[in-house]
Amino acid sequence: MRLSSIIKTALGAALISGAMAASAAAADFSLSFIVKDMTNPYYWRMGEGAKRAAEELGIDLNFVSAKVNGDIAGQIAVVETEIVKKPDAIVLVPMNGTALIPKVMEANSAGIPVITADTRVDKGPAKVETFVGLDEEQSFAGMAQWVVDQLGGKGKVAILEGFRGSSTAELRLKGMMKVFDANEGIEVVASIAADWDSEKGLKASEDILQAHPDVNAIIGSNDLMALGAVQAVKGAGKLDDVIIVGDDAIPAALTALKSGELDATIDGNTDQVGYEAVMAAYKHVTEGTELDDWIVVPSTILTAKDVTQAYLDRRGVELN
Amino acid sequence: MKSIERLKSQPLTWIILVALALMLTLSFASPYFMTLGNMTNLMKQVSIVAILAAGQGIVIISGGIDLSVGSVLALSAVTIGWLIEAGVPSGLATIGGLAVGTLAGWINGMVITRGRIPPFIATLGMLGIARGVALVITNGVSYQVLDPLFLFIGNSKLAGLPIPLFFVIGVYAVICVMMHLTVLGRHVYAIGGDERVARLEGIPVDRQKVKIYMLCGFLSGVAAVVLVGRLAATPPSVAEGIELQAIAAVIIGGVSFAGGRGIVATALVGALIMAMITNGLNILGISSFYQQVLIGMVIIAAVWLDNLKSRSG
């Protein structure tokens, strides 16, 4: 899905829900939105989406997090505090899929519906109304298809994988391989785990360029590794010959997109995740809507032309 | 005959033979391995771990350990990126990065000597602190460094050789002179051999230890300069776990973990062996799972060989 179509959908949704908010008595609806780290740009953006939804609905939004990402005990304490406040619903981005299960159960027994966003809690005794988030596999299948299209269905590609054994890395790889395997003209000449790290991505790409000097595309499973690949390809003087793509749309990647060094990256649209999560929570509580197990928020493939000032403003990102 | 005996007892001889055997194997296994382009790559790829391993080697010979080198490397790199972003000239930014590395080393040294905290724990603390500070000052964001000085370090060649190699040669030349021709070098061996005896001999053990950790921190800063050149960016999360590679390089090189024994230069060969394994297996398209297994086996084999030698000798 292109950026423009995303904006259209978002606008459409905004209009519909705006009308809805006017009709529903929502003044005394309160929602707790608990993320991993609200100072992190990734979750800040999710918060922006959540706030937009809350304004449209005219509800009370409490956007909170622990002090630092990784402080699981801190997040547990935050959830406990929020439960005491008796909100009408909780949206949770769990730091850890297992450790937060007891807290979700606590909310369950207090009669507060819980929705997870971005990260899941493990299957088990905890009752979660729905999960709002990206489909990593589908997302990377989309990126792989984009690369195949750019190559005209024929060429040699190399993959920089994330940490082997991490579920995210596996899903991303699976999505890509499904598309590459289905295209006979595409040959995957190397698939190396570079552990999400740019230095390892650089080294692996240098090795790939040695063993396969005629490689046509390098796909990083995240932007940091893709930016490492940019350095390697630049060093080999092949920036014009090799397509390089990444994922996450981090600011450094946006700069590289603009300068033409990186060809594409995936934007996970976390603001849309925040927006959809709030909307789903509201509808479920006030209208008793049955929610699907998974509300998929589609990702967007960004290229140089998508990095407009309007886009950067919406992300709250400044490039120099 | 006697000279051959002496050569056999040299730890450097053994480790170079192992490296050559590995090189030969890999060049038979893949036609791409023994090419000029790949050798240039290998020199660039080994540079950062090799520089860190030089500092680590000194620390280990002195009977200590420094777990913080990777985090200090990241902190120095981030400092350089941050200063350049703020408009500071690249030369000054480099000095800033080196100073931050040295300062972190000084803190390690002071905590170990004045605070009487074991090196493992003191530097484990610094591992967290330096990485945390790097994340705090950047807010997790990676700065782009497109300064000509760093582009030169990362991408240029001199006499056909990549610039990072000259950093490695420079570092090892200075360290070899220091370890074998200066008082500080002699003290490093004495402290590592038996700290109590060193004190009785009147060696200012604490002062020298602080210097050793400062030197290790400074070398993390030097490695950061190369890293910034190579990546043209300073992600604060970069090179996590690289301290274990530096320690492994020192051990594979045959430096005794007990301290007081070994030659720092062997760490360079140790680093080269690990880089060759990764590079060679990448080129052969063998999964990184096996790379880890292989490097693990090499570490154990290196120490085992060392034990055999010292038992027979």
Chain B CB contacts of A231 under 8 Å are 154, 230-232
Tokens of B140: 């997790």
ipTM more than 0.95?
Answer: no
In single-letter form, the type of residue at position A188 comes to V
CA distance B155 to chain A (A): 6
**CB-based contact, B289 to chain A, within 8 Å:** yes
Q: Domains in chain B and their CATH numbers? A: 43-312 (1.10.3470)
Q: What is the CA radius of gyration of chain B?
A: 19
Contact A250 B238 (CB under 8 A): no
DSSP label of A219: E
**Domain A3-134+269-299 identical in fold to domain A136-267:** yes
Q: What DSSP string describes chain B? A: -HHHHHHHH-HHHHHHHHHHHHHHHHHHH-TTTTSHHHHHHHHHHHHHHHHHHHHHHHHHHTT---TTHHHHHHHHHHHHHHHHHTT--HHHHHHHHHHHHHHHHHHHHHHHHTS---HHHHHHHHHHHHHHHHHHHHTTPPEE---HHHHHHHH-EETTEEHHHHHHHHHHHHHHHHHHHSHHHHHHHHHHH-HHHHHHTT--HHHHHHHHHHHHHHHHHHHHHHHHHHHSEE-TTTTTTHHHHHHHHHHHTT--TTSS---THHHHHHHHHHHHHHHHHHHHT--HHHHHHHHHHHHHHHHHHHHHHHHH-
CB contact under 8 A, B233 and A227: yes
Rounded-to-integer distance, Cα B231 and Cα A313, Å: 27
Q: Is the pLDDT of residue A23 over 70?
A: no
Model confidence over A79-122: pLDDT tens digits? 998 998 899 999 999 988 888 898 999 999 999 999 999 988 88
> Which of A:108-167 have CB within 8 Å of B?
164
Q: Do B141 and A251 touch (CB under 8 A)?
A: yes
How many other CB atoms are there within 10 angstroms of residue A185's CB atom? 12
Q: How far apart are CA B66 and CA B246, in angstroms?
A: 10
Q: How far is CA B216 from CA B122, B240, B306, in A?
A: 14, 17, 25
**Strand A265-267 vs strand A300-302: parallel, antiparallel, or unpaired?**
antiparallel
Would you call B48 an interface residue with chain A, using a CB distance cutoff of 8 Å?
Answer: yes
Q: B279 vs A30, B24, B46, CA distance in Å? A: 56, 14, 10
Helix (H, G, I), strand (E, B) or coil at A94: coil
Q: Which of A189, A207, A231 is facing B41, going by the closest CB pair?
A: A207
Of B32, B233, B287, the CB nearest to A198: B233
Residues of chain A with C-beta less than 8 angstroms from the C-beta of B284: 211
Residue in B55, B171, B191 with CA at minimum distance from that of residue B123: B55
Q: Which residue among B143, B239, B282 places its CB closest to the CB of A199?
A: B239
H helix or E strand, kind and range, residue A294: strand A294-296
Is B230–A199 a contact, with Cβ atoms under 8 angstroms apart? yes
Of A159, A210, A221, A320, which to mutate for an interface test with B (greatest number of B Cβ within 10 Å)? A210
Residues of B in contact with A228 (CB under 8 A): 231
Q: What is the pLDDT of residue A19?
A: 43
Per residue in A160-190, pLDDT tens? 999 887 778 889 999 999 999 999 999 999 9
Is the CB of residue A51 less than 8 Å away from at least one CB of chain B?
no
- Give yes or no for A221 touching B (CB within 8 A): no
Q: Write out pLDDT tens, residues A254-298.
A: 999 999 999 999 999 999 999 999 999 999 999 988 889 999 999
Assess A262–B contact: CB distance below 8 Å, yes or no.
no
d(CA B74, CA A205): 21
Among A26-30, B148-152, B202-206, the least confident range: A26-30
pLDDT tens sequence across B224-247: 999 999 888 888 888 888 999 999
Interatomic CA distance for residues B180 and B176, integer angstroms: 6
Tell if the CB–CB gap between B142 and A224 is shorter than 8 Å.
yes
A204 three-class SS: helix
CB contact (8 A) between residue B279 and residue A208: no
Cα-to-chain-centroid distance, residue A170:
15
Q: Are B226 and B119 within 8 A, CB to CB?
A: no
Specify the CATH number for A3-134+269-299; select among 3.40.50.2300, 3.30.830.10, 3.40.50.300, 3.40.50.10700.
3.40.50.2300
Which pLDDT does position B203 carry in this prediction? 95
> Alpha-carbon distance B134 to B78, whole Å?
6
Q: How far is B173 from chain A (nearest CA, A)?
A: 26
Contacts A227 to B, Cβ<8 Å: 142, 231, 233
Higher pLDDT, residue A72 or A78: A78
Q: Which of A192, A204, A210 sits opposite B38 (nearest CB)?
A: A210
Yes or no: say if B248 and B235 are a contact pair by the CB < 8 Å rule. Answer: no
Decide if A260 touches B, using CB distance below 8 A.
no
Residues within 8 A of B (CB atoms), A 170-209 only? 189-190, 192-193, 197-199, 202-204, 206-208
User: What distance in Å separates the CA atoms of residue A11 and residue A25, rounded to the nearest whole number?
Assistant: 23
The residue length of chain A stands at 320
**What is the overall mean pLDDT for chain A?**
88
What are the residue ranges spanned by the domains of chain A? 3-134+269-299, 136-267
Q: In chain A, what is the straight-line distance between the N-terminal and C-terminal CA atoms, in Å?
A: 28
Residue among A40, A207, A210 minimizing CB distance to B140: A40
State pTM to two decimals: 0.76
CATH number for the domain whose boundaries are A136-267: 3.40.50.2300
B31 touches chain A (CB under 8 A): no
Q: Which of B32, B155, B285 sits opposite A235 (nearest CB)?
A: B155
Q: Looking at the complex, does the CB of residue A259 fall below 8 Å from at least one CB of chain B?
A: no
Which of A197, A203, A255 has the CB atom closest to B240's CB atom? A197
CA distances A85 to A32, A112, A145, B303, Å, are: 9, 11, 47, 60
Distance (Å, whole) CA B274 – CA B168: 16
Is it the case that residue B201 has pLDDT exceeding 90?
A: yes
Share of chain A above pLDDT 90, in %: 67
Please indicate if any CB of chain A lies within 8 Å of the CB of B239. Answer: yes
**Nearest C-alpha of chain B: how many angstroms from A7?**
27
